[in-house]
Every structure is written in C-alpha cells, then in structure tokens.
Amino acid sequence: MTDWRRQMIAGGIKTPVPLDELENHLREEIEWQKKTGQGEAEAFATAVRKIGPAHAVKKEFEKIGTTRKSLNWKRFEFLFLVYAALYPLLVGSLACIFKNGSFSEMTAGQQFSSLAAAVAFSSLAWGMQWGCGKFPTIRTNRIRNAIFVPVMIWLVTFAYLIMPHTGLDESQRAVVSLWGFAPFGIVLGWIWGFATAARKTMASAGA
C-alpha cells in the first residue's frame, strides 16, 4: 500500500484529500475482491488495475475540478446577467410606478434622469463584458488596474466627499447618486467578462 501511495504521489496526486479518498476506495475494492475468493496479493493487484495508473487518475480529478469551476463561473455569469438586465427595470419601477422613499417627490425630468442613469450603468456593464471577449489586450494587469482603480476611487470620493456636502433635497440626491453609481457598471462588466473568458478557457482545456 505504501508503494502504491508513492506511485500516486509521483504521478501528481499530491493533495491529501484525493489521495486518502483513493486509498479508501482501493481498500474497499480489495475487500470486495477477497470476498470473491482472491488472495491478498491478487485482490490488491486487481484493485489497483481497476483504479488505474496515476496519470489517468490525475486526469479524472482535473476533469472533475474543471467541471466544478465551470459551474461556479456559470452561476456568476447568470447573476451578472440578471443584475445588469433588471437594474434599469428596478429603478424605473421605483421612480415611475411605486415612487417609494427618495423617488416619491420626483418630477418627470428627475424620473427620466434616474432611468437614464440606470440604463447607463447596464450599458457600461454590457459594453465592458463584450470588450473583455473582443479585445485580448484588456486582460493585462496594467489595463485592468487602469479600469478598476479609477472607478473605485471615484465611488469612494463621490460617496464620502461629494455627496455629504451637496445640499440637495432627497429627490435630487437620489438622481445624483444614481449617476454617481453608473460608472460602477464598468467594474461589473469587467468581472462578468473575465468570468466568461475563464469559463471558456476551462471548457477548452477540458475538451
């Protein structure tokens, strides 16, 4: 059994959990083969053949890991898609139909401006998601930082330095806040685009 573990480790099965699971499976298979009338050595050899060589086992674990990661990325993509698609509908409903809270006293112009800000947010998200797939250069760290850092600095500056000193009424603050938040669509689209690219890469690797 010790030699078998060494072979698995040499073949790339190095993490404790998969190796322990394999060993448990090997022991169960040995016991099953012994029940069929095989001796200890013969049962062990049969069980080892059934499990397969280390390189084949490693490939199976890699396929399982790739499948799980792909499913996780798909879930992320779905959430981004739903958020980007429903955000304008949510804002439009609050501003024009339900008129709750900060939206209750809005004028028609403010309602239109609120909806336009929500559409701008979603448009930036969709545009950035599309750009990540079309322009490979956007995947470099330098360009990613050039996109992400300024947007985050803007959001912090807007929320903590600009908005507290505007002196606007509640409706005006709601409209300005929506426009201030709109650039965050770039970050959402960037994350969304890289999720799509990562899933496609893993799918190609697993093919």
Q: Tell me which residue range forms the domain holding 25.
A: 2-52
Q: What percent of the chain has a predicted confidence (pLDDT) above 90?
A: 21
Cβ contact 177:94 at 8 Å: no
Looking at residue 20, its pLDDT comes to 74
Same domain, yes or no, for 16 and 98?
no
Residues 130 and 76 in one domain: yes
116 pLDDT more than 90: yes
Structure tokens at 117: 């800000």
Same domain, 108 and 196: yes
How many domains does the chain fold into? 2
183: left (phi over 0), alpha (psi -120 to 50) or beta: alpha
Over pLDDT 70: what percentage of the chain? 70
The yes-or-no verdict on residue 143 having pLDDT over 80 is no
Same domain, 176 and 107: yes
Q: What is the pLDDT of residues 5-41, one digit of tens each?
A: 666 666 566 655 466 777 787 788 788 878 888 888 8
172 shares a domain with 96: yes
pLDDT bucket at 137, cuts 50 / 70 / 90 = very low
Q: Which amino acid is at 155?
A: L
Other Cβ atoms less than 10 A from the Cβ of 142: the count is 8
Does residue 77 share a domain with residue 161? Answer: yes
**What's the pTM?**
0.59
Write phi, then psi, for 146 (nearest 5 degrees): -65, -25
- pLDDT in the model for residue 175: 94
**Please, are residues 96 and 115 in contact by the beta-carbon 8 Å criterion?**
yes
> Given 31, 52, 73, which residue is the final one in a domain?
52
Do 125 and 189 touch, CB atoms closer than 8 A? yes
Average model confidence (pLDDT) across the chain = 78
Q: Are residues 85 and 185 in the same domain?
A: yes
Tokens 């545009």 correspond to what residue?
Answer: 127
Considering the domain architecture, whether residues 172 and 71 belong to the same structural domain is answered as: yes
Phi, psi of 64 (to 5 degrees): -65, -45
Do both 13 and 80 map to the same domain? no
Residue 147 scores a pLDDT above 90: no
**Mean pLDDT score, 118-134:** 84
Decide if 190 contacts 149 (C-beta within 8 A).
Answer: no
Q: Does the residue 57 lie in any domain?
A: no
Query: Is 59 among the domain residues?
Result: no
